[in-house]
A and B are shown apart, each in its own frame.
Chain A
């Protein structure tokens, strides 16, 4: 602090601190605490707010267990609360998106970091960035058009003879997974790219020289080195996917429901902000726990990711 004052003077230091404090308190802490407090109170008519019925309870959180439906698992039928199922499917397809992003990003990141001519790298990065200049809504709609039953993707695949009849792409969660993968793949690419770029190329050559085949080099040298980057990419993609509302809304099918959509419905359709808040905190809490467990399993420390 005294260092800051010495460097920038009292006025600018005070201003910086105030701005940071404003951002933290007004834009992060207060809204979250408000929602958190709300989530424990029942949704009441305005006249009852603050009255005897307005007491703290876990009732809003318990609502996820309401309304079970029947499903079957390998022919064995079982009952599951519909919101729990939505949550489970959201987590599952977020994992699918994360894996898909990794499968796409890792080879590209390796290519960019170790194979591509450094001179062509700016062009490559520009090509990757240009789509980001377009609004996310438009990009989601673009995919909606591309994936349409009579859309360009089917037309192309039919023309080159890869398929014999047009495919319904936007069924179940397929459209959502494709859209989310497209939207968040760069969040996977850059951490991995940075991690691989920091790997000494001599290590790859040394492994090669010692007789390692290419897959062994990746398994033993590149992947372990890139692990923190991969982990931070995975955490970002997973959290963003699980928390995405736009893409599931646009590219979802009649049989897909994302947990964020459920939250959105509590907010906007039911106008029950209390239950919506409770659901939002369930998502936040469980995703955080899930990610922490995943990091433990893959032996990655949080401090490694921050690098």
Chain B
């Protein structure tokens, strides 16, 4: 019970404001797909268009190959989990869960049985007769999932449902959600601004900015091979260098900066655009001696202990901040503040990227 979802040239305008601009994405049956982006990037609008609360201004949304235009939310094979869950506080848990069946005219005994089954699926056995207010945040979460699953949707739409939970519970629910998705095989479309959440749970991630989908890829590629500066910046930290790119050869290019010519990866389609060099702090190495390539002399100005890693903040001679992250496994010596070192990175770990893809 899952369906393919196609967004074909979908745009959505609110007055003169274009919330979603020409979105194209094909989500496979049974896939866990996340839309990731900052607030106001249009991800919730996409979700509401798929669920049917908003009609796209242009383009088509197809679920299981069928054009959904003109179909009301209650006619679509989708179930939406709201950011605030929107459980019905005046009904006991089992009526909440079986509400979708109640409106379909299923008799009470069958509904009760189905609700019990779903409660077991989401690990909440015995809560059937409780009221919503008696449950904890994580339990409410599960009830919301069970309620959505009860109508046997082909597609589950989740609008940042974990944002109200505390960190530990959030991490637990990530795994839980993923497990439920695997068990049921339903297509999940997940909306979040939390990159960790998106990367950890999804089969594929669509990163959005200013109404445009910037990149669609699996979590590894999103992090390791971002397509532009926005994606690189949104899904992690970077040391960024300004400069001018030189000739491209075998996917690599020289980049003239104030610190000499640095080398980094480049995509062919980035040619001719204004570029910047991005390198992750964990790929930035510190050494006493000058490295063979991409080496910049720096002074350590601050050491910040983060637990799993140690963040070393350095400044170059002209005052540019360069951050290097050391793993807290005893393999690296933590430099003292004021030490003069060389920051360097492998050319294959750095990328020359254009800015975000926005409407000009």
Contacts and interface: CB of A to CB of B under 8 A. Distances in A.
Nearest to B75: A211
Interface stretch (B20-28, B96-104, B248-256): B96-104
Contacts of B53: 205, 209
A225 B90 contact: yes
**Max chain B CB contacts within 10 Å: which of A206, A213, A216?**
A206
B88 interface: yes
Given A200-B86, A216-B103, A220-B99, A206 B74 contact: no
B335 interface: no
Given A202-B82, A206-B82, A211 B88 contact: no
A210 interface: yes
B82 A205 contact: yes
A16 B53 CA distance: 53
B100 A202 contact: no
Contacts of A208: 72-74
Nearest to A203: B86
A210 B82 contact: no
Contacts of A225: 90
Interface string B132-174: 0000000000000001101100000000000000000000000
Contacts of B103: 207, 210-213, 216
Contacts of A209: 51-53, 73-74, 78-80
Interface in B195-239: none
A224 interface: yes
Nearest to B103: A212
Contacts of A207: 88, 99, 103
Interface string A205-248: 11111111100100011001100000000000000000000000
B152 to A, nearest CB: 11
Interface residues of A, number: 17
A212 B99 CA distance: 8
B73 to A, nearest CB: 5
B50 to A, nearest CB: 11
Given A208-B72, A210-B74, A220-B99, A203 B88 contact: yes
Given A211-B103, A211-B151, A212-B99, A206 B86 contact: yes
Nearest to A206: B86
B84 interface: yes
A206 B86 CA distance: 7
Nearest to A225: B90
A205 B83 CA distance: 12
A220 B101 CA distance: 13
B86 A210 contact: no
Contact of B73 (A202, A203, A205, A216): A205
Contacts of A200: 84, 86
B82 A212 contact: no
Range class of the B interface residue count: 20 to 34
A98 B258 CA distance: 81
Contacts of B72: 208
Contacts of A206: 80, 82, 86-88
B74 A205 contact: no
A193 B78 CA distance: 31
A200 B86 CA distance: 7
A205 B51 CA distance: 10
B4 to A, nearest CB: 20
Contact of B88 (A205, A213, A221): A221
A243 B344 CA distance: 88
B74 A224 contact: no
A209 B47 CA distance: 12
A294 to B, nearest CB: 20
A210 B84 contact: no
A212 B74 CA distance: 7
A210 B146 CA distance: 12
Contacts of B148: 210
Contacts of B99: 207, 210, 212, 220
A19 to B, nearest CB: 41
Given A202-B82, A206-B82, A211 B100 contact: yes
Contacts of A210: 74, 79, 99-100, 103, 147-148, 150-151
Contacts of B88: 203, 206-207, 220-221
Nearest to A214: B74
A100 B235 CA distance: 59
Nearest to B148: A210
A203 B96 CA distance: 11
A154 B281 CA distance: 83
A202 B84 contact: yes
B338 to A, nearest CB: 55
B131 to A, nearest CB: 13
A202 B87 CA distance: 9
Nearest to A201: B86
A220 B86 CA distance: 14
Nearest to B53: A205
A203 B148 CA distance: 13
Contacts of B151: 210-211
Contact of B86 (A202, A211, A213, A224): A202
Nearest to A221: B88
Contacts of A202: 82-84, 86
Interface of A: 200, 202-203, 205-213, 216, 220-221, 224-225
19 contacts: A200-B84, A200-B86, A202-B83, A202-B86, A203-B88, A205-B53, A206-B80, A206-B88, A208-B73, A209-B52, A209-B79, A209-B80, A210-B151, A211-B74, A211-B151, A212-B74, A213-B74, A220-B99, A221-B88
Given A207-B88, A211-B74, 13 more contacts: A200-B84, A202-B83, A202-B84, A205-B86, A207-B103, A209-B78, A209-B79, A210-B99, A210-B147, A210-B150, A211-B104, A212-B103, A225-B90
9 pairs of A and B residues whose beta carbons are closest in the complex: A202-B86, A210-B100, A206-B86, A212-B103, A211-B74, A209-B73, A202-B82, A209-B80, A224-B90
Interface of B: 51-53, 72-74, 78-80, 82-84, 86-88, 90-91, 99-100, 102-104, 147-148, 150-151
